[in-house]
Amino acid sequence: MTQTELKTTPLFNAHQKMGAKLVDFGGWNMPVHYGSQIEEHHQVRKDAGMFDVCHMTIVDLRGSDVIAYLSRLLANDVAKIAGKPGKALYSCMLNNEGGVIDDLIIYAMAPDWVRVIVNSATRENDLAWMRSQLGDNAVELTERDDLAMIAVQGPNARVLAGKALGDDIAGAEELKPFNAILINQGADNERFVARTGYTGEDGYEIVCANEQAESVWNGLYEAGVRPCGLGARDTLRLEAGMNLYGSDMDETTSPLESGLSWTVDFSDPERHFIGREALEKQKNNGIKYKFVGLILNGKGVLRAHQKVIVEGEGEGELTSGTFSPTMQKAIGFARVPVGAAEHCQVEIRNKLLDAKIVKLPFVRNGKVLSG
């Protein structure tokens, strides 16, 4: 696919004006950085940065059966947030074998309206699966490709967003974490603001009409929020212990071996969600692998697919890895034998290097939690 064939977001012109280095990201022409990935990483940890996440897929589900439909579709139980307008829930969507089709966030906005945000790389597969599971449910599924989304993240993100957008996001300052609000400023000026993110810092994800995205972006910039690219987004989410679909889990791995057991709700024996039987069988047979954080002792860089050796237990594999700008150490996620304790070795360029096994996350809200 050539550069001219790549899809672009409503912020493409803004990225060019701000000097972004653009790369092919799953068929989208997206900014990887605006000069320094490291500086952008620290900007989010210490102040406020913004990300173009317009490539994410926004889906509105409306109808009287929407909660019943999602209760079967998702591994987490949507009933927990039903009747709580704006409350968000993170979940995996599984296939019949218990593999992860995608991970997503659900916002219960009304008894008959739920907004779902799914990954861009899995868009076609997700939508096809969701439609195939509708059955006789009174649910209408609408992809909202008329909407754009900007993530504003960092300790000063909410204050600066309020300064930049004023009445357009009035009321968002009262949001609790993992909640959203719909703000109407007339038919052509709607704002959906969620206190969610993918960096381990506080902030908002702001949804607006495509036509208004560049104005919102520029307003945030003028208020002191700096643009950040995909490079910083990846190091931030890794430090924060947040999975990346396609790297840390996919249709061949279950949430039980991907650090996502907490997103699977078995509490209601009458809720027969897709993949439940396979997960229960896996539990009964014994989980063979667990999902952990690794910190490399000494020099080197951890990367996906490097072999992890746990003495006396067997082998595992890195699923993600990077050099942590905050910790100044090589860190990564790995799927290792369930009996692994504190130490392992990683095979890097035919050498075995010592690493420490730690509990995730590494960093949250600017504080190092594992070291």
Burial grade of 98 (CB within 10 A; 0-12, 13-18, 19 or more): buried
Domains plus CATH for the chain? Answer: 3-51+145-238 (3.30.1360.120), 288-371 (2.40.30.110)
The model's pLDDT over 143-201, given as tens digits with 9 standing for 90+, comes to 999 999 999 999 999 999 999 999 899 999 999 999 999 997 666 677 999 999 999 99
Question: b/e for 158-191, b at 16 or more Cβ within 10 A?
Answer: bebbbebbeebbeebeebeebbbbbbeeeeeebb
Over residues 313-365, the pLDDT tens digits come to 999 999 999 999 999 999 999 999 999 999 999 999 999 999 999 999 999 99
Q: Nearest Cα to 204, choosing from 86, 368, 28, 79?
A: 86
Q: Residues 113-150: pLDDT tens digits? A: 999 999 999 999 999 999 999 999 999 999 999 999 99
Residues 207/209/215/218 CA torsion (nearest 10 deg): 30
* CA–CA separation, 157 and 286 (whole Å): 43
Residue 270: half-sphere exposure toward Cβ, Cα within 13 Å = 2
Residue 299: is it exposed, middle or buried by C-beta count within 10 angstroms (0-12/13-18/19+)?
A: exposed
Distance CA 21, CA 44 (A): 19
